[in-house]
């Protein structure tokens, strides 16, 4: 009997009008476990109308009541995070420890959102003119849309909706159809935490549902994380329809290793940042820029560490799980042939890995490619898999030139014991998030997340102060309370006196 994953609209499970579905695989076995319903334009409209109907009541709820719901959700999520981790592993394939880490980073944003009453405080200027005061308030937008990717089915929605809800907005979330269950699980948990029906809705779907959100006249804003071509499309389409947009795109993150770096630390970091979550994350390190004099040594240390990694089912204590689909696995594997054709050296080949898992899983092992030319597609394309490319450079300046010449600007890192070089790097590099001896510089929740250049489109970064600004709009109020001594009618242009 087929198990269907329904939408969550108006506080309840909903089949929707559309009869289209898509398979949801367990990537570790290669088998279809469920079918997810793909929402139509009408289904999106139903969810948006439910959110719109719930907005006045949620907007007018006191800050204390909203804060209580967010805090209750935080406690429930923390208590049951093991259950959510199992859902993530079953549908995405990442190992359980990585799934747990994803949830932990999402919980940081929930913690941040629980402090929203402080963050929503306005400003007040008394007596700007005689008897006139000016003050500002921050108010919610209304119905907001969130479109999230397959690689972080819990964390990315958690980047957005806790802040949106705490600020008084209502939400329509469209998760990836590849691993949709986490979104519904969180929706049910929000209801248990006391969130009123209709304030948070989930509509599954593909491009039809996405376009319906982008074009719906009631949706005030769109938040998105995904590849650069889709991020650009989201930004252009939503902006053309008069919406605020934060669209986080793809990446090709570089890690520059200078000769004075601790090579053991750099090797550990390269393995962790290159192969964690099977390389399916926008902050993965995919390019190592290594100064020639230490390149052979560093490559050998990385290869040695890679030999200890176990690839397999994420529920079996392995280090790395499968890729999300068979099609994606085959695309990632094709880059090994590209590398060989372009004259690169394949140090560790992941195309035929030994795995602790079902033979039908979408397996591809950690792969290390040396002597990669910057003209190769292995260097320029966002592969989104566990392939680490080594580009040898002559100096700091040579490495910086390559990083700044990339069309992407999401994350980068430098490994060095030279404080002057590190300080120079953080000032000169044209990338939005920088690590110094830290390979994955994802900011904590009270700083904002987002890149530069083709890695970011729209009005603001995710979470942190910019996230609060994105989900609110400021209203300035100028007031005068007349007293019996006012001077009567005056048709002249108002003057400050």
Q: Is the dihedral of CA 111, 113, 116, 122 positive or negative?
A: positive
Strand 143-147 and strand 170-174: the pairing is parallel
Q: 193: exposed, middle or buried (C-beta count within 10 Å: 0-12, 13-18, 19+)? A: middle
Is 318 an active-site residue?
no
367 vs 173: CA distance, rounded Å: 35
- Asked if 426 contacts 403 with a C-beta cutoff of 8 angstroms, the reply is no
**Residue 47: closest CA among 212, 183, 245:** 212
DSSP letter string, 220-256 = EEEEEES-HHHHHHHHHHHHHTT-EEEEE----EEEE
Enumerate residues 6+ apart whose C-beta is below 8 A from 112.
162, 163, 445, 446, 463, 464
437 vs 457: CA distance, rounded Å: 28
400-431 core/surface letters (b: 16 or more CB in 10 A; e: else): bebbeebebbbbbbbbbeeeebbeebeeebeb
**Residue 121: closest CA among 139, 107, 103:** 139
Q: Tokens 């100096």 correspond to what residue?
A: 395
111 vs 445: CA distance, rounded Å: 8
124 C-beta neighbours (distance < 10 Å), count: 11
The encoded tokens of residue 273 equal: 């940042």
Q: In what order do the strands lie in the sheet with 31-37?
A: 4-5, 31-37, 21-26
> Of 282, 369, 422, 440, which one is the catalytic site residue?
282
As annotated, the active-site residues are 282
């Amino acid at each position: 009997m087929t198990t269907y994953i329904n939408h969550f609209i108006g506080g309840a499970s909903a089949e929707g009008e559309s009869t289209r579905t898509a398979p949801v695989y367990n990537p570790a076995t290669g088998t279809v476990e469920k079918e997810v319903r793909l929402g139509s334009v009408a289904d999106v409209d139903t969810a948006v109308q439910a959110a719109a109907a719930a907005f006045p009541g949620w907007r007018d709820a006191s800050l204390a009541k909203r804060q209580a719901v967010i805090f209750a959700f935080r406690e429930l999520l923390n208590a049951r995070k093991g259950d959510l981790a199992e859902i993530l592993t079953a549908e995405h394939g990442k190992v359980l420890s990585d799934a747990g880490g994803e949830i932990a980073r999402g919980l940081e944003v929930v913690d941040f959102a629980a402090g929203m009453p402080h963050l929503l405080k306005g400003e007040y200027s008394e007596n700007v003119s005689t008897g006139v005061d000016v003050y500002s308030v921050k108010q919610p937008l209304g119905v907001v849309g969130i479109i999230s990717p397959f690689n972080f089915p819990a964390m990315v929605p958690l980047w957005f909706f806790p802040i949106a809800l705490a600020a008084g907005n209502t939400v329509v979330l469209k998760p990836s159809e590849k691993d949709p269950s986490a979104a519904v699980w969180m929706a049910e948990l929000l209801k248990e935490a006391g969130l009123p029906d209709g304030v948070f809705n989930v509509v599954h779907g593909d491009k039809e549902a996405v376009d319906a959100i982008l074009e719906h006249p009631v949706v005030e804003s769109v938040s998105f994380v995904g590849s650069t071509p889709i991020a650009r499309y989201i930004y252009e389409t939503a902006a053309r329809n008069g919406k605020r947009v934060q669209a986080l795109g793809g990446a090709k993150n570089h890690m520059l290793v200078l000769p004075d770096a601790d090579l053991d630390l750099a090797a550990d970091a390269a393995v962790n940042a290159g192969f964690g979550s099977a390389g399916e994350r926008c902050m993965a390190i995919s390019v190592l820029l290594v100064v020639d004099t230490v390149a052979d040594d560093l490559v050998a240390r990385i290869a040695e560490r890679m030999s200890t990694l176990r690839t397999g089912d994420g529920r079996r204590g392995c280090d790395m799980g499968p890729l999300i689909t068979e099609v994606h696995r085959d695309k990632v594997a094709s880059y090994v042939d590209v590398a060989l054709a372009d004259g690169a050296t394949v140090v560790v080949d992941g195309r035929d890995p030994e795995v602790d898992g079902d033979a039908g899983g979408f397996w591809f092992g950690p792969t290390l490619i040396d002597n990669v030319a910057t003209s190769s597609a292995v260097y320029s394309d966002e592969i989104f898999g566990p392939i680490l490319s080594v580009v040898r450079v002559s100096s700091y300046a040579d490495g910086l030139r390559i990083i700044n010449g990339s069309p992407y600007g999401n994350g980068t890192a430098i490994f060095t014991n030279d404080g002057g070089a590190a300080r120079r790097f953080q000032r000169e590099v044209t990338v939005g998030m920088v690590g110094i001896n830290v390979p994955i510089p994802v900011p904590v929740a009270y700083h904002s997340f987002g890149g530069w250049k083709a890695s970011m489109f729209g009005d603001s970064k995710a979470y942190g102060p910019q996230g609060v600004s994105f989900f609110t709009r400021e209203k300035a109020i100028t007031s005068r309370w007349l007293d019996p001594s006012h001077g009567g009618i005056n048709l002249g242009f108002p003057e400050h006196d």
